[in-house]
Amino acid sequence: MSEPVLLSGGNPQIPKGDGAAPVAAYIAAMPGWKQAVGSRIDALIVAAVPDVRKAVKWNSPLYGVAGQGWFLGIHCLTRYVKIAFFRGAALEPLPPVGSKTPDARYLHIHEDDAWDEAQFTAWVKQAAAIPGWVP
């Protein structure tokens, strides 16, 4: 099997698809240290929301709840992994990075960051409990 194409910033180009398999393929294709971060993010989401719905769309893994839309997306950039909470403005406390989109908030994880997994998990649980983004 050939190596996946990495797009701008090192984001893997994975064919769109629903379910855990495309998300696993995306995580496996994340370059370098980002792969471990992606695996940990995925594990924390699954632990927090056991019936989470997964898909890859627009070269990004999405996580949602059936009937409520998507609550979170992941994207690789050159220096960090961007976690988008699509309704992040409704979370307490607010995720740290603002967006041009008023509802969205981000968490950026850089290579040597020590990030708060307990806070991340709390945001995931909150985000999964509110109506998500429906494209």
pLDDT digits (tens, 9 = 90+) for 10-55: 899 999 999 999 999 999 999 999 999 999 999 999 999 999 999 9
How many Å apart are CA 95 and CA 107, to the nearest integer?
A: 6
pTM above 0.85, yes or no: yes
Take residue 13 and report the two structure tokens written for it.
Answer: 């180009």
**C-alpha distances in Å from residue 97, one per residue of 12, 14, 19, 121, 128:** 23, 26, 28, 17, 19
Sign of CA dihedral 15, 30, 128, 70: negative
pLDDT digits 0-9 by tens, 72-104: 999 999 999 999 999 999 999 999 999 999 999
Domain ranges of the chain: 8-128
CA–CA separation, 32 vs 122, rounded Å? 27
User: Is CATH 1.20.120 the classification given to domain 8-128?
Assistant: no
Structure-token match 């403005």, residue found: 89
